[in-house]
Chain A
Amino acid sequence: MQKQAIFQSKLLPYVLVAPQLAVVLIFFYWPALQAVIQSFLLQDAFGLSSNFVWFDNYIELFKDPAYFASIIRTFFFSFAIAVSSLSFALLLAVMADKPLRGSTLYRTLLIWPYAVAPPVVGVLWIFMLHPSLGVLARYLRGAGIDWNPLLNGDQAAALIILAAAWKQISYNFLFFLAGLQAIPKSVFEAAAIDGARPMRRFWTVTFPLLSPTIFFLLVVNIVYAFFDTFGIIDTMTRGGPGTSTVTLVYKVYSDGLLGGNLGSSAAQSVILMVMVIVLTGIQFRFVERKVTY
Chain B
Amino acid sequence: MVEEEGFRRYVAHIILWIGIAIVAFPVYIAIVASTQDNALIANGQMSLLPGGHFFEVYYQTIFVGTSGSTREPVYNMMLNSLVMALLIAVGKIAISIISAYGIVYFRFPFRMPIFWIIFITLMLPVEVRIYPTYKIVADLHMLDSYAGLALPLIASATATLLFRQFFMTVPDELLEASRIDGAGPLRFFWDTLLPLSRTNMAALFVILFILGWNQYLWPLLITTRDDMQTIQVGIRKMITTTDALTEWPVVMATAVLAMLPPVFVVVAMQKLFVRGLVETEK
Contacts and interface: CB of A to CB of B under 8 A. Distances in A.
Nearest to B165: A1
A98 B7 CA distance: 13
Which of B20, B23, B251 has the most C-beta atoms of chain A within 10 angstroms of its own C-beta? Answer: B23
Interface stretch (B58-66, B72-80, B196-204, B208-216): B208-216
A29 B129 CA distance: 9
Interface in A241-293: 249, 252-253, 256-257, 262, 265-266, 269, 272-273, 276-277, 280, 288, 291, 293
A278 to B, nearest CB: 10
Nearest to A293: B278
A276 B124 contact: yes
User: Per DSSP, are chain B's interface residues mostly helix, strand or loop, or mixed?
Assistant: helix
Contact of A174 (B3, B41, B251, B277): B277
User: Per DSSP, are chain A's interface residues mostly helix, strand or loop, or mixed?
Assistant: helix
Contacts of A269: 128-131
A98 B12 contact: yes
A252 B130 contact: yes
Contact of A117 (B154, B188, B232, B267): B232
Given A116-B259, A188-B2, A273 B128 contact: yes
B114 A114 contact: no
B265 interface: yes
A161 B23 CA distance: 15
A220 interface: yes
Contact of B108 (A13, A188, A257): A13
A23 to B, nearest CB: 5
A115 interface: yes
Given A21-B114, A110-B23, A230-B216, A123 B251 contact: yes
A170 B155 CA distance: 27
B128 A272 contact: yes
Interface in B63-119: 94-96, 98-99, 101-108, 111, 114, 117-118
A92 B16 contact: yes
B235 interface: yes
Interface of B: 1-4, 8-9, 12-13, 15-16, 19-20, 22-24, 26-27, 29-30, 33, 41-44, 46, 48, 94-96, 98-99, 101-108, 111, 114, 117-118, 121-125, 127-133, 135-137, 151-152, 154-157, 160, 167-168, 172, 175-176, 179, 184-186, 188, 210, 213-214, 216-217, 220-221, 232-233, 235-236, 239, 243, 248, 251-252, 255, 258-259, 262-263, 265-267, 270, 273-274, 277-278, 281-282
The 4 closest A-B pairs by CB, nearest first: A16-B102, A34-B132, A115-B262, A31-B132
